[in-house]
Amino acid sequence: MKSINDTYTLSNGLNIPCLGFGTYNPKGGDNCKIIRTAMEAGYRYFDTASLYGTERALGQAVKESGIDRKELFIASKVWIDEMGYTETKQAFE
């Protein structure tokens, strides 16, 4: 990796940035602002999970950023007690 903009090509042809921004327990108060600052710095891959409690802040940051959603790679995970078809759907709601 030579740049924050470098990517890996997945087997389905999609590109994933080499470097992601983790949203777990960000310090400093305003999670939306923190994530937006990461976007301004060039991050396009964001890692979140229901356990982190930052999914809404990430969504708001995407909306406020003006960056086309197609330019962003977002990974969200479910916690162990949310596994299963119905539980996972509920967690993502």
Q: Which residues pair with 48 in a beta bridge?
A: 76
Say if residues 43 and 34 touch (Cβ distance below 8 Å): no
Query: Per the residue annotation, which of 24, 43, 45, 52 is the catalytic one?
Result: 52
What are the φ/ψ torsions at residue 33 (nearest 5 degrees)? Answer: -65, -40
Question: Quick check: 73 and 18 in contact, CB under 8 A?
Answer: no
Cα 35 to Cα 6, 50, 63, 73: the distances in Å are: 20, 16, 11, 14
Q: Is 45 a catalytic residue?
A: no
- Provide the annotated active-site residues: 52
